[in-house]
Amino acid sequence: MNSKEPNANLVQYCLAFGTFVIDLTVGFWNLEFKEERMPAYLIGNIEVTDPAAYEEYKKRVAATVAAHGGRSLVRPGEAMEVLEGDWTPKRLVILEFPSAAKLKAWYNSPEYRPLLQIRLRSAKSSLVMVEGT
3-state helix/strand/coil string of 50-88 = CHHHHHHHHHHHHHHHHHCCCEEEECCCCCCCCCCCCCC
108, part of any domain: yes
> What pLDDT was estimated at residue 72?
94
Instruction: Report the percent of the chain where pLDDT is more than 70.
Output: 71
Per-chain mean pLDDT for the chain = 83
Domain shared by 12 and 59, yes or no: no
1, part of any domain: no
Domain shared by 83 and 23, yes or no: no
Alpha carbons 101 and 87: distance in angstroms, whole number: 29
Statement: residue 45 has pLDDT above 80: yes
Domain shared by 15 and 29, yes or no: yes
Range of the domain at 27: 7-37
Average pLDDT over residues 14-42: 59
pTM of the model: 0.71
Domain shared by 110 and 70, yes or no: yes
Domain shared by 89 and 25, yes or no: no
Domain shared by 74 and 127, yes or no: yes
Statement: residue 7 has pLDDT above 80: no
- Total domains in the chain come to 2
What sign for the dihedral angle of Cα 131, 116, 95, 62?
Answer: negative
